[in-house]
Amino acid sequence: MNVTLQTQRLLLRPAQMGDAEPIARYLDDFDVAGNLARVPFPYHLSDAKAWLRTRKSTLPVEDTNFSIELPGTGLVGHVGFHRGAQGPIIGYWLGKPFWGRGIMTEAVAASLEWFFNATGAPVIYSGVFHFNLASLAIQTKLGFTETGRSTLLCLARGAEVEHIDTQLTRSVWKARDT
Ligand SMILES: CC(C)(COP(=O)(O)OP(=O)(O)OC[C@H]1O[C@@H](n2cnc3c(N)ncnc32)[C@H](O)[C@@H]1OP(=O)(O)O)[C@@H](O)C(=O)NCCC(=O)NCCS
């Protein structure tokens, strides 16, 4: 799907081939890749190009991804949805130079609002590796709650890692104070 969202500070837009270089630069960082399940480390330009080739505009709404742009800077991260066994899953990452400014809270909030409006999904799933307190803080702030623990393969670590499973229901999201 070709969707563009504007937030107070950010532009969320479809990924394009020209994103390969900054994606490779920011994902080739263990502090980023090591917190993600499906990103190998080291991460090469060819990995970014291969992934971008899968980002077709004909993908269903449940597979929508956004490149996060900070005007004046360019691409700083990604947020996107994919289909899991239970239902839709949201995932995200931000290049390390941009951490700690509330950027991902802003990007995830806008993406969730769009997703709940664009789909009939009653719930969105996510989670964090057990040591990822910054990401857990984002999810807790936005209304996600823990549903249990599991283990998930972290490609960058080459190991199964304890995972805090979370979910956000449509009703909690729609009832939030903005
Ligand atoms: C996790 C990540 C997305 C955070 O992005 P960000 O833009 O820095 O996050 P924000 O600034 O919007 O919010 C981070 C929150 O975590 C809090 N936080 C940061 N470090 C923390 C820590 N060690 N313990 C507890 N809370 C922490 C911040 O205080 C902030 O909460 P606040 O706004 O209530 O103060 C970014 O660090 C990242 O991409 N990491 C690598 C990839 C990743 O972890 N992706 C998510 C996988 S589940």
Indicate which CATH number applies to the domain containing 170: 3.40.630.30
Q: Which domain holds residue 90?
A: 5-174
Instruction: Count the helix, strand and coil residues of the chain and give each as a percent rounded to the nearest 5.
Output: 35, 30, 35
Total domains in the fold of the chain: 1
Residue nearest to ligand 1 atom 21, measured at CA? 134
d(CA 114, CA 18): 25
| pLDDT single digits (tens) 25-68 | 999 999 999 999 999 999 999 999 999 999 988 899 999 999 99
Give the model confidence (pLDDT) of 110-169 as tens digits.
999 999 999 999 999 999 999 999 999 999 999 999 999 999 999 999 999 999 999 999
Contact yes or no for 43/52 (Cβ under 8 A): no
51 lines ligand 1 (CB under 6 A): no
Instruction: Please give the distance, rounded to the nearest whole angstrom, from the Cα atom of residue 51 to the centre of ligand 1.
Output: 24
CA distance 17 to 23: 10
pLDDT of residue 57: 84
Q: What span, in angstroms and rounded, lies between the C-alpha atoms of 80 and 55? A: 11
Please indicate whether residue 36, judged by its CB atom, sits closer than 6 Å to ligand 1: yes
**Could you tell me if the CB of 99 is within 6 A of ligand 1?**
yes
Confidence grade of residue 91 (pLDDT, cut at 50, 70, 90): very high
Ligand 1 pocket member 104 (CB < 6 A): yes
CB-ligand 1 contact for 39 (6 Å cutoff): no
